[in-house]
Structure 1
C-alpha cells in the first residue's frame, strides 16, 4: 500500500468511518439560511458561502469556549420537528457523499427543546430523520449506517436524564453516550452517577477529555468514570516525555495497552488551540507509537471539513500513506459502539474490500 500514490481522488474513493461528529456542528450552510428565514432568526449573513466562511473564521479562535459559541445559529434552527428531520436526513446524505460507510453522530437532546419538544420527542425525531437519510442513501447506491450517541451537557444538570434516554433507545438506533461542553472546570466525575447507571445497563460511552484540560481529565474519564473511548485526548502526550523515544507514563501506557480509542479531530484541535499544526498534530506520533487513534471531523460546518479533507491534510502535511489511512479506519471499526459480529462484518465485507478495490485502480507512486 505504501507504494501507491495517495491523492485526493484516491482518498475520495476510500471507505471511511467516523466516530466523533456532532449533528449540530455539521449542517449545510444553505439549510441554516433557509430554516433561519422560516423562523425569523437573524444570521451573520444570508449568503450560504459567506456563512460557511463565517463559521470557520469564528471558530479559529484557539479557544474551546468561543468555538462552542458558534453553535448558536445551528441550534436555533434545530428546535422544531421539521428542522430536526431535515438536518438529520441531510447529515446522513452528506456522510454518504463523502464515502463514509459507518458513522456515529452525537448531539445533546436538551439543546433542542426550546421550541416545545421534549427530550424524548427530540430523540424520536432525529432517529426518524436519520432513518430517512439511510434509506435515501441505499436507494442512491451509497449505503451508510449511522449510530447515535446521546450527549449530556457537562455544565448543566440533565446528564442523568440524557443517559436514561440512551438506555431507552438503545434498540432504536442509539449506540452509546457522551458528555460534551466546556471541559475545563467541569470534570467528568461530576456526573459519576450517570456513568455508573450506564455501566449497570451495559451501554457504552465515550467522554470528551484531554482537549481543553489535561491528564486529570483523561484519568477521571477512564479510571473514575469508566469510559471505553476518549473524545480527542490529544493531551495524553503530556504523559509521554519524549514522543520520539516512546517512553510512556503510566496513564499513557494504560491507554495504549488497553486499546482505548482516541477520537482525534485534527482541524478542530487547531481551532481550539489543542494542537499547533497538522504536521505536528499528536495523531501521527501516537499512531506510530501503537495507540488506537481514530480520525474524525468533529464539526464539519464549523471546521469547514470532511473526512476526505482530514485524510488529505494528513497525507499532504504529515506524510501519511495509504497504509496509515487504512490503519486509522480499521481502528475506528474496531472501536465502534456496535456488537462484535457487526463490527467484524463491516470490516470484512465493506472496509477491507473497499480499500483493496480503491488501491487496485490507483497508479503507483
Structure 2
C-alpha cells in the first residue's frame, strides 16, 4: 500500500531545501552588489542592471503568460513598481551608505508594518501575539541602529532601508489582492507575475536610472571583496542569474511544496545569510548589540507574520521573495526583495 504520509514528508523536506536555496540566493544580492557600487556604479544603475538582466532572462515566461496583461494590468504594474523597482532601488541605495546586514534587518520590519496596515487601514483586529511581535521588532531595530549613539548612524541610509520595508508592505498587500480569481476566472500564475513584474520594473527603472549615463567601463574591470579582486561582470552575473532569476523561481517552487506561512518563515533566514555573507566577504562586522538586535528583529517578524489573521488560502499546490519574510498568498513569492 502506498504510504502517502511518507510522500508528504518527502515533499515537505524538498520544499524546505528549496526554500533555503531561495533564501541563500536572495541573501547574496547585497554582498555582490556593494562591491560594484564601491567600484563606481551608482546604486540605481546596479538596480537597473539587475532588474533588466533578469527581465531579459524571463522573457519566455512573460510570453507564455501574456494573457495576464489583459487580465491583471493593475496587479502587474503594482508588483513591478513596488516589489521589483521600489524594494531593490531603496535597498541598493541603502547599502551604499550603511552595512548590508543593517539595511536588510531594517527591511525586515515589513511584516510588522503589515500588521499596522491591517489594524489601522483595513481596521481588522490583530492578535496580542502580533502586537508583541511588532514591539520586539521595533526594539530590535533600536539595537541594530544603536540609537544610544544618537545620529552616529547614517540617517539617509536608515530612511532608504525603511523605504524598502514600506515597498515590501505594498508587495504583501498586492499579494493579498492577487488571491481572488478576478472577473475572468483563474488566479494569476506566479511565474507570469514575476516575469511581468521584472519587465515593468525594468521600464520604470530605465526612466529613473537613465542607464545611458552609466560608466559601463566599470563592468570591464575588477571589484573588491574585502581586498580580493573579482571581475565585475562575474558579480553582475551572480546578481542577475542567481540572486534574482533563480531566487524568485525557487521561492515560488518552495511555496508550492510548503504552506505560504512556512515558506515565509524560512525566508526570514535571508537576513541572517546576507549578514553572514557581508561579514565574510566584505568584512562588515556587526557589534554584539547589533547582532542581538538583529535576532530580536527576526523573532519579532516571525511572531508578527505567523500571528497575522489571514484569509483562507487554496491548497499549497495551487501556487505560492527574494530579498522577504512574510507569508504570501496564492502563488506570489515570499519576501523579495530584495531585495
Taking structure 2 as the reference length, the TM-score comes to 0.27
Report 1 or 2 for greater relative contact order, CA contacts < 8 Å, sequence distance ≥ 6.
Answer: 2
More helix by share: 2
Taking structure 1 as the reference length, the TM-score comes to 0.26
